[in-house]
Amino acid sequence: MTQSMKSRAASLVHLRGRTLEPGDPVPLPLVSAATFHTPGDSTGVHQYGRFSNPTWDAVEEMLTHLEDARSLAFPSGMAAIAAVMFALLKTGDRILLPADGYHTTRILADRFLTKLGISIDTRPTATFLDGGFEGYQLVFVESPSNPNLDICDIAAVAAAAHAAGAIVVVDNTTMTPYGQRPLELGADIVVAADTKAPNGHSDALFGHVASRDEEIMAAVHDWRTMSGSIPSPFDAWLVHRGLETLEVRFDRMCSSAETIARRLKQHPAVQMVRYPGLEDDPSHNLARAQMERFGFLVSLVLATADKAEDFINGCPLMQAATSFGSVHTSAERRNKRGDAVAPGFVRIAVGCEPVEKLWAAIEASLDRVGG
Ligand SMILES: *Cc1c(COP(=O)(O)O)cnc(C)c1O
């Protein structure tokens, strides 16, 4: 992590403390309110729960601090992605999406944007630059892509897309602001599912949009207020708590993933491993150049779907579950979610367990299912 991100991580947990009056609670109070006291002229104060909420303010202050860009909270990652698309696009626009990224983004665009006369193209993340960006109003990047962990050169995409007049959006969910800095690499907007590592405990859905462009953020803010796509104060409170420990969890998860990916590669039952931190991974050189860490997702292929299921379900330190970024290690056979991958393809989301215990459990499960 850069010195400037270390400073940000250190001051993150003191943001609230700086504003306290004697007698105030040190931890963040949860304010669950649809209405606020608004006698007379109520400009500048909280009025109604769809417009603003003090618990959102606190989590947005943290996200803004981490992103170094104004950030707005949403009730899920998809709500954040939808807000960007519906607030910024219009009939006649053409957009480019990753062919291999989070598939709901493509389904949303396909079902709802095409009906509004917006055309959609897709391209694999690994060759995202090929073909240029002429004619696109918005270019949407997900790097590393989920679940294959392919990478594209975000700075090069941003430069070429800007030259063609497009806005560049990066879904930074897999890396978090600690692992990759898309706005520093030239992107206009970051979207992320804070459902994953930022919340970190699999008990809330949440998302955010971050940008240094005030016009973009004004449009996204209007969309949130008018569409009612607002987070619950309780979920905001949970994510606020999660963000306080994100740095230490993310550090542990990425370090453990590096160790585990190396050992998986040596195991005879494993046919293929994808992890950007492995020197011979196709993503490695770009990952070194543009990411702060190599992430906590590791993908591997076992011989069959049955072996993959057996490996996951028979490992006592691995939760069979979709999603990722929680304190517990989880894994999923991605073929059953509709990803275009081999039947035995497993995505492991490495959690916070002590790494040697975790590896011992993974190794024992692999030994048991065999090659
Ligand atoms: C999970 C995820 C989303 C969607 O987030 P939700 O909170 O489930 O709506 C979007 N993009 C990526 C890369 C994700 O992993």
94-99 average pLDDT score: 97
Which is the closest atom of ligand 1 to the Cα of 146? Answer: 13
Band (274; pLDDT cuts 50, 70, 90): very high
Quickly count: other Cβ atoms within 10 Å of residue 228's Cβ: 9
- d(CA 215, CA 262) in angstroms, rounded, equals 45
Phi and psi of 273, rounded to 5°?
-130, 135
Which is the closest atom of ligand 1 to the Cα of 195? Answer: 7
Residue 354: is the preceding peptide bond cis (ω within 30°)? no
105-121 average pLDDT score: 98
Domains in the chain, ordered, with CATH?
3-244 (3.40.640.10), 246-369 (3.90.1150.10)
- Residue 193 CA to ligand 1 center (angstroms) comes to 5
Which is nearest to 46 in space by CA: 183, 225, 178, 199? 225
Residues 6+ positions from 193 with CB-CB distance below 8 Å: 76, 77, 78, 80, 173, 205, 206, 207
Q: How many CA atoms lie within 13 A of 81 on its CB side?
A: 26
221-248 average pLDDT score: 98
- d(CA 213, CA 207) in angstroms, rounded, equals 19
Candidate of 140, 145, 171, 239 to mutate for ligand 1, largest count of ligand atoms within 8 Å of Cβ: 171
Band (110; pLDDT cuts 50, 70, 90): very high
* DSSP H helices in 109-192: 154-163, 176-179
248-252 average pLDDT score: 98
In tens, the pLDDT along 315-345 reads: 999 999 988 999 999 999 988 877 788 999 9
CA 96 to chain CA centroid, Å, is 19
- Residue 103 CA to ligand 1 center (angstroms) comes to 9
204-232 average pLDDT score: 98
- Residue 258 CA to ligand 1 center (angstroms) comes to 23
Which is the closest atom of ligand 1 to the Cα of 101? Answer: 13
- Residue 321 CA to ligand 1 center (angstroms) comes to 14
Which is the closest atom of ligand 1 to the Cα of 80? Answer: 9
Candidate of 74, 76, 78 to mutate for ligand 1, largest count of ligand atoms within 8 Å of Cβ: 78
- Residue 347 CA to ligand 1 center (angstroms) comes to 15
Two tokens at 304?
A: 């069959």
| pLDDT of 165 higher than 90 | yes
- Residue 203 CA to ligand 1 center (angstroms) comes to 14
**pTM surpassing 0.85?**
yes
Candidate of 146, 322, 323, 332 to mutate for ligand 1, largest count of ligand atoms within 8 Å of Cβ: 146
Band (5; pLDDT cuts 50, 70, 90): very high
pLDDT at residue 253 in the model: 98
- Residue 304 CA to ligand 1 center (angstroms) comes to 27
pLDDT at residue 86 in the model: 98
pLDDT at residue 371 in the model: 83
Which is the closest atom of ligand 1 to the Cα of 206? Answer: 7
Which is the closest atom of ligand 1 to the Cα of 323? Answer: 1
Give Cα separations from 127 to 61, 141, 235, 237 (angstroms).
36, 12, 37, 40
Closest protein CA for atom 2 of ligand 1: 193
268-296 average pLDDT score: 96
| pLDDT of 7 higher than 90 | yes
pLDDT at residue 356 in the model: 98
- Residue 171 CA to ligand 1 center (angstroms) comes to 9
Candidate of 102, 170, 296 to mutate for ligand 1, largest count of ligand atoms within 8 Å of Cβ: 102
Q: Is the C-alpha dihedral spanning 313, 317, 319, 323 positive or negative?
A: negative
pLDDT, mean over the chain: 96
Measured in residues, the chain has a length of 371
